[in-house]
Amino acid sequence: MNLTDLLTEEHIITDLACRDKDSVLRELVSVLTDPGASITEEVLFDVLAERERLGSTGIGNGVAIPHGKVKGIDRLLVSFGRSLHGIDFDSLDGKPANLFFVLLAPENSTGVHLKLLAKISKMLKEKEFRTGLMQASSGEDIFKLIKKRDGEL
């Protein structure tokens, strides 16, 4: 499965307005819910916040991949956000995070969820890719970079 089968430009926030961990999670789930949907932003936030209490998903090098499983959704949900100033996310290396991928999976999903997490992690380990995401001038440019790299893996 390609990441860009799930991620659209509407799910990309080019300059996160928030300044703390909880606000990052709230802002990133805000682009994933539809008005009138049975799953609310609060439910999605609670899943991510609970996962963060178990241990930070800030993996270092300016990257965080908040993720979790949600009862009541029937497909994977993905969003991306970039913070130009960096946000303290309790990352493993102690440095602020700038690049965030949120991945929410149906409660009974395993294989696809883990494969997508691994793919995102692999993409973000590459310094050139991270630099490109930070320097991109628009959501469209970010999406194009992700799509290009996604197709190469």
Is residue 11 within 8 A of residue 3, CB to CB? The reply is no
Helix (H, G, I), strand (E, B) or coil at 24: helix
Is residue 143 within 8 A of residue 12, CB to CB? The reply is yes
- What DSSP line would sit under 93-140, residue for residue? TSSPEEEEEEEEEETT--HHHHHHHHHHHHHHT-HHHHHHHHH--SHH
Q: CA 97 from chain center: how many Å?
A: 12
Q: Which of 11, 67, 85, 113 is catalytic?
A: 67
d(CA 133, CA 92): 21
Q: Active site includes 85?
A: no
Tokens (6 digits) for 51 = 């996962």
Q: Which of the residues are catalytic?
A: 67
